[in-house]
Structure 1
Amino acid sequence: MTTPDFVVIDVETACSRVSSICQIGIVGFRDGREVFAYETLLDPCDDFHAMNTRIHGIAAHHVIGQPTFAHVHADIDRHLTGRVTVAHSYFDKGALAAACRVHDRAMIETVWLDSVRVAKRAWPDLPNHKLGGLARYLGITHRHHDALSDARAAGWVIVKAIDHTGLSLADWLAPPRKPQPPPRAAPAGPLKGERIVVVGEARDGAIAQALAAQGGTIMSAVGLTTTMVVVADHLPDARAPRASAEMDKAAAARRAGRAIRIVSARTPGLLDDDAGAIVGG
């Protein structure tokens, strides 16, 4: 088996006890492609609750004769130990640890990476970062609440985040940097008096710095005094981040008659000395 850069795990549980794993899926990725997949149903040695079965479709009769977690622990350990393991939220990490305790097996020693955290940094303007919504947005084939499909989709989220941001797997594993204050507005300039929210980039990013250098005051969110929303230039146009909460707030304010301009960072003159030539979006 090709040694993966990272593996992804997803589990489904039979009831409210997180140790009650009834399906597990693991997918390995290397160089931006899938290199192995492992999936099995498990007898959770626990009750099946109707709500859980409604979610994933697995019932008690589906796991008759299937292995228990104790039986597959060695396989899971072989796939995960000593590697980077991705999970979409840390539910799967907690479930794996709980199952190890209940079945009296050694804890899996791996380095965990939360693909929810990755997605929030890579695509901050999405309304939420649930796996189903991310799969639709990124064009990933996905069948929700199937452990193998969920693991595969979360792996592709990581691959696409690396491609989208240019950050390596090591970068994503590093602790996120503390938010920096927005750049201070220059005392004069063509944007003096403008109160600006930048959508699609950190408020201390290059676009915000360029706007502040021209006198604009950078705000963290659209508020009553906001006069302009600037859409980062990696988005195709001002309509692209329709789901963005800040764009939605700005659009609602415009409908209410407030004078908020929504412009692309690509607007000619916006990020240079001719910024006074901007026209409202």
Structure 2
Amino acid sequence: MSVVPATLPASDPCDFVVIDVETACSRVSSICQIGIVGFRAGVEVFAYDTLVDPCDEFSPFNTRIHGLCEDYVMNQPTYAEVHATVAAHLGGRVTVAHSMFDKGALAAACAIHAQTPIDATWLDSVRVAKRAWPDLPSHRLSALAKFLGLRHKHHNALSDARAAGMVIVRAIDHTGIDLGGWLNPATYRTSAAPKPAPDGPLKGERIAILGETRNGALGQWLAEMGGRVAASVGTSSTMLVVSNEQPYGRFFHASPAHRRAEELQRAGSRIEIVSEDALRARVAAAG
């Protein structure tokens, strides 16, 4: 396995970086692979991937998970030798990891190898995914990659970092909550669904919204009409409403939510895709 160098200097601007590490054994300090990906405006702008000599043993259990062993890391740098590069990519930046395992592994490796701890602002993509798509049965990275249609090789550090970054990108698109909002728990706690009215023309409908958070003006109106507003398009959804405020313009059909609704339609679901204006007009005419 070769090292993929950063395509942009670590100092180049990006909105956030994502890191994933693989470990050689049960000791979290035993980092044997590091993958880092930088994103700006929803697009990958650099990637860094390296094998690492963990200066520790490889357990059969860990090797079965990621396929790495002593032979793969022979003559590879130790963590102490790559620390400066990792710190240059992460230091002072919003750093995403899928669970906080990677944060803990970096801290442990810094301690073991007598390196300065990395000062970053951490964001857990598991928590983001659970709030963006609460109805999914699993928020494991492999399950999210499948749901979002991402190419992904699980337990490869670079591929895992890339997929976790796209979870953030898609969550921002899906919910309308920007990166700053996800970093502020008070913001996404307010995105809980409004309680549907006990009766109304939309009673019995399970509705996802494209372009607004579910507690926005459209979500409130849908709930007042008796609809149950969901956080994402799922197999139980009966309607996807395209908000007038949706950010995709005429390209809204390319959004993950719209594509998911179309997939369900092709599979025989009765889910309807309707614009906000059309639905409001329909409800007004029926009332």
Moved more, 150-159 or 201-210: 201-210
For residues 284 and 118 of structure 2, what CA distance do their matches in structure 1 show?
57
Q: Corresponding residue for 2:283?
A: 272
TM-score (norm 2): 0.71
Matched position secondary structure for 2:17: strand
For residues 144 and 93 of structure 2, what CA distance do their matches in structure 1 show?
25
Structure 2 residue 221 is the aligned partner of structure 1 residue 213 = no
For residues 23 and 154 of structure 2, what CA distance do their matches in structure 1 show?
14
Q: Corresponding residue for 2:124?
A: 114
Q: Is the 8 A contact 2:92 2:119 kept in 1?
A: yes
Give the CA RMSD over aligned residues.
3.4
Query: Which of 64, 85, 92 does residue 54 from structure 1 map onto?
Result: 64
Matched position secondary structure for 2:82: helix
Q: Corresponding residue for 1:70?
A: 80
For residues 86 and 189 of structure 1, what CA distance do their matches in structure 2 show?
42
Matched position secondary structure for 2:206: strand
Relative to structure 1, the CA distance from residue 104 to residue 118 in structure 2 (aligned partners, 3 Å threshold; closer, same or farther) is same
Question: 2:170 corresponds to which letter in structure 1?
Answer: K
For residues 28 and 238 of structure 1, what CA distance do their matches in structure 2 show?
26
Q: Corresponding residue for 1:136?
A: 146
Question: 1:151 corresponds to which letter in structure 2?
Answer: A
Matched position secondary structure for 2:126: helix
Percent of residue pairs bearing the same amino acid type = 56
Q: Corresponding residue for 1:233?
A: 241
Q: Corresponding residue for 1:257?
A: none
Query: Which of 142, 151, 159 does residue 149 from structure 1 map onto?
Result: 159
Relative to structure 1, the CA distance from residue 274 to residue 79 in structure 2 (aligned partners, 3 Å threshold; closer, same or farther) is same
For residues 23 and 143 of structure 2, what CA distance do their matches in structure 1 show?
22
Q: Is the 8 A contact 1:4 1:29 kept in 2?
A: yes
Relative to structure 1, the CA distance from residue 3 to residue 168 in structure 2 (aligned partners, 3 Å threshold; closer, same or farther) is same
Q: Corresponding residue for 1:45?
A: 55
Structure 1: give runs of 5+ residues left out of the alignment.
221-227, 243-250, 252-261, 277-281
For residues 218 and 90 of structure 1, what CA distance do their matches in structure 2 show?
33
CA radius of gyration, larger in: 1
User: How far did residue 96 of structure 1 move?
Assistant: 0.9
Query: Which of 5, 26, 31 does residue 21 from structure 1 map onto?
Result: 31
Q: Corresponding residue for 1:255?
A: none
Aligned length: 247
Q: Is the 8 A contact 2:18 2:164 kept in 1?
A: yes
User: How far did residue 178 of structure 1 move?
Assistant: 4.6
For residues 141 and 32 of structure 2, what CA distance do their matches in structure 1 show?
20
For residues 114 and 17 of structure 2, what CA distance do their matches in structure 1 show?
24
What is the CA deviation profile of residues 92-127 of structure 1, one whole-angstrom value per residue up to 9, with x for unaligned ones?
A: 111111111222222110001112222233333332
Relative to structure 1, the CA distance from residue 171 to residue 241 in structure 2 (aligned partners, 3 Å threshold; closer, same or farther) is farther
Matched position secondary structure for 1:233: strand
TM-score (norm 1): 0.73
